[in-house]
């Protein structure tokens, strides 16, 4: 084989399809994902939980092969438990991200795994790490991934701004994932979010019938964002 075919899945393997995202704010991080799992054109699960806990304040968002990403998450969770026992304190987010990156990179010819690792720790505070296919490791204030992410890079670039509060980050991710779900056939279902702070993790669930953007071309609804370099909300009207 002279090249890696990232689109190929092993026989009977399920693909998460997916839109995953994470964004950091002053006191923590917000992570999110859709809930659709596919096998080709068949939707195998409408309510998959793609937000996986690795430690008390460290989570990952999974995209790619469901089996591969679950295995990577399970191994990392086990290693983090050992880290806690050996060192006597909670692991930093960077340690978890590097563990996942090492597994993905070492097995890049055999795994289909795109992962976002995010959380809060005493050393660095809130952190977001993107681990795309092939095993790179990139720290950023926000990250998106999965098949649906290609539809929302423009929205995220235009509407993300530094210094957003927790509620603004929650709305930012909910809007972004909903927009991706309206375009990407491999993303759908509901939106699951999780806010991770020093106090712990809080889950936020939005069912499919309550998403802010539904229907073709978002149903002609207003797409609300923060604008670029402005404190006032920007509204873009999209006709159905």
Is pLDDT of 196 > 60? yes
Closest by CA position to 110, among listed 14, 2, 6: 6
Question: What pTM was estimated for this model as a whole?
Answer: 0.85
User: What is the rounded CA–CA span in Å between residue 123 and residue 129?
Assistant: 15
Q: Are 60 and 73 in contact (CB under 8 A)?
A: yes
Does residue 16 or residue 72 have the better pLDDT?
72
Active site members: 18
Cβ neighbours of residue 187 closer than 8 Å, sequence gap 6 or more: 17, 18, 19, 34, 36, 146, 147, 148, 177, 180, 181
* CA distance linking residue 174 with residue 170, whole number of Å: 6
Mean pLDDT (whole number) for 144-148? 95
CB burial of residue 206 (10 Å; 0-12, 13-18, 19+): middle
Percent of the chain with pLDDT over 90: 74
- Contact between residue 118 and residue 138 where contact means Cβ atoms under 8 Å apart: no
The band of 236, judged by pLDDT with boundaries at 50, 70 and 90, is very low
- Residue 153 corresponds to which tokens in the numbers above? 């890079």
pLDDT at 11: 59
Strands 51-55 and 42-45: unpaired
Please answer whether residues 148 and 15 qualify as being in contact, where contact means their C-beta atoms are separated by less than 8 angstroms.
no
pLDDT at 17 over 80: no
The pLDDT score that the predictor gives to residue 126 is: 98
CB 30 within 8 A of CB 166: yes
Residues 6+ positions from 138 with CB-CB distance below 8 Å: 129, 130, 131, 132
Is 146 a residue whose pLDDT tops 50? yes
Contact yes or no for 115/63 (Cβ under 8 A): yes
Which CATH number does 20-209 carry? 3.60.20.10
Whole-number Cα distances in Å, 37 to 19, 41, 42? 11, 10, 9
Cα–Cα distance, 56 to 22 (Å, whole number) = 17
| Cβ–Cβ under 8 Å, residues 155 and 223 | yes
Percentage of the chain beyond pLDDT 70 is 82
- CA–chain centroid gap for 229, Å, is 25
**Higher pLDDT, residue 8 or 180:** 180
Q: So what's the pLDDT on residue 7?
A: 53
With cut-offs at 50, 70 and 90, classify the pLDDT of residue 185. Answer: confident
pLDDT for 235 equals 44
- List the structure tokens of 113: 């795994």
Q: Per-residue pLDDT for 240 more than 80?
A: no
Q: Using 50, 70 and 90 to split pLDDT, how confident is the model at 49?
A: very high
Which region among 20-29, 96-105, 206-215 has the lowest average model confidence (pLDDT)? 206-215
pLDDT at position 205 over 70: yes
């Amino acid at each position: 084989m002279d090249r890696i075919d990232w689109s190929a899945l092993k026989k009977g393997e399920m693909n998460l399809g997916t839109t995953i995202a994470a964004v950091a704010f002053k006191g923590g991080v917000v992570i999110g994902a859709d809930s659709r799992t596919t096998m080709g054109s068949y939707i195998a699960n409408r309510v998959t939980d793609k937000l996986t806990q690795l430690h008390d304040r460290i989570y990952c968002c999974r995209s790619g092969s469901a089996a591969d990403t679950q295995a990577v998450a399970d191994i990392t969770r086990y290693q983090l438990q050992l880290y806690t026992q050996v060192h006597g304190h909670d692991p930093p987010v960077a340690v978890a991200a590097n563990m996942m990156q090492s597994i993905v990179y070492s097995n890049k010819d055999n795994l289909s795994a795109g992962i976002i690792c995010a959380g809060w720790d005493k050393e660095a505070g809130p952190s977001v790490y993107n681990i795309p296919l092939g095993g790179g490791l990139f720290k950023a204030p926000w990250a998106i991934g999965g098949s649906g992410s290609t539809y929302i890079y423009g929205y995220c670039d235009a509407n993300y701004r530094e210094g957003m509060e927790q509620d603004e980050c929650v709305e930012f991710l909910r809007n972004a994932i909903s927009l991706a779900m309206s375009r990407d056939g491999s993303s759908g279902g509901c939106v699951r979010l999780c806010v991770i702070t020093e106090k712990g993790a809080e889950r936020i669930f939005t069912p499919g019938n309550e998403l802010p953007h539904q229907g073709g071309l978002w149903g002609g609804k207003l797409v609300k964002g923060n604008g670029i370099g402005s404190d006032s909300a920007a509204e873009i009207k999209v006709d159905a």
